[in-house]
Amino acid sequence: MRILVTGGAGFIGSHVSRRFAARGAQVVLFDNLSRHGSEHNLEWVTRESPSAEFVRGDVRDAESVERAARECQAIFHLAAQVAVTSSVENPREDFEINALGTFNVLEAARRAGTRPLVIYTSTNKVYGGMEGAAVEERGGRYAYADLPLGVSETWPLDFHSPYGCSKGAGDQYVRDYARIYQLPTVVFRQSCIYGERQFGIEDQGWLAHFVISAVLGRPITIYGDGKQVRDVLFIEDLLESFERAVERREDVRGQVYNIGGGPSKTLAVWADAGPLLESLAGRPLPVEWGDWRPGDQRIYVSDIRKAERDLGWRPRIAPAEGLARLYRWVEENQALFS
C-alpha cells in the first residue's frame, strides 16, 4: 500500500510515517519543513525507515500535491497551521494553508484514480466556546454539569478565530467529498495529542511545552487559574485509531469522530499536570500566572463512544504514564531543544 502523509515530518506525521513504513507500506512524506523540529523528525523517520520517500512541498501548491498523491491508497492530511494566535496575526496565511491546502488534497485524491482513503485531522475548536455547556467546579478542577461523557459529534459547530474557521472549513469539505464524490474520507476531531517528538510551544502542544520547560529550566506561564480541564491522548493511542480507520475504510466513509482521551484520561492544566511534572522533575517548578486568554474553555472533554463503537478502539495509556514517557524522551534529547 502506498501512503501519502502531508506534514509527514511533523509530530503526528512522523509517527504515522514511521508506523506504516514499519508495517510494510510505501510511505511518502510531504512537508515543507517550516516547523521547528521537523528536520529532526525527518532524519528519525528516514534513518529508521530507509524505504520512506521524502518530497519537499507545500499543500498550497496544488500541482505538487497532485503529483505526490498519484497511486496512493491512503492519504493522511496532517499538514496545517496549528496556532490560534498565529491565525489571528496572519489570517490569510492560515486560510491558505488550512482551507485551501485541504481543498488541494481532496482534489488530488479525487484525481488520483485510486480512490484513496483521506484521513483529515480536524480539531475540537470547531465547537467554538461552547457557551451552552454548563460548567461547575469540583475538587479544584472544572467539570461539565450535564455532559458526564463529554462532547459528542452532534454538538453544534461554532467556528471561533481564523484557525477555527479554516480548520472547520476543511472539516466540512472532507465530509462533503464523501457525499458528492464518494471518496472514502473520515474526519478526526482531535483533542490534546501529546508524546515523544513533539516540539510544543506555548500556544500549541501545551503539555509538551510544559515538559520541555521543566527539563530545561525555562519559565512556565499558566493562563487563567490552572483548573481548566482537557482530555489528553498519547500518540500511540492516536496511531491505533488511524490503523483501525484504514482497516475499515468503507465503514468509516463520510464519518466524523471525536478522538481524545475521553472522560477517563483528563488533566487539569496545572492543578493536575503541575504535581505530576514536579514529581518527575524531583523539585518544585515555579510558574508565572497570566490573565485568561480569549476563547479559552474552562473544560473540553471528548465523548469517544462513537469511535469506540465503529473502530473497536479505546485509548489505553494513562496521562501519568504518557507524561513520564514524554519527560524521559525530552531528558534524553535535550540537544534537540537548544
> Contact at 8 Å (CB) between 324 and 252?
no
Q: For each successive 10 residues of the chain (338 residues), what is the average pLDDT? A: 98 98 97 95 97 98 98 98 92 98 98 96 94 95 98 96 96 98 97 97 93 96 97 98 97 97 98 98 96 88 98 98 98 93
Spatial CA neighbour of 168 closest among 250, 66, 72, 87? 87
Q: Name the residue ranges covered by the structural domains of the chain.
A: 2-337
Spatial CA neighbour of 213 closest among 291, 292, 85, 327? 327
pLDDT score at 242: 98
Name the grid cell of 216. 530545561
pLDDT score at 51: 95
Alpha-carbon span 114 to 70, nearest angstrom = 8
- 163 an active-site residue? yes
Alpha-carbon span 158 to 299, nearest angstrom = 16
Alpha-carbon span 227 to 185, nearest angstrom = 36
SS3 201: strand
pLDDT score at 294: 76
User: What pTM, to 2 d.p., does this model score?
Assistant: 0.97
Alpha-carbon span 121 to 104, nearest angstrom = 15
CATH superfamily of 2-337: NAD(P)-binding Rossmann-like Domain (3.40.50.720)
SS3 107: helix
Q: Exactly one of 120, 127, 144, 163 is catalytic; name it.
A: 163
Name the grid cell of 237. 493511542
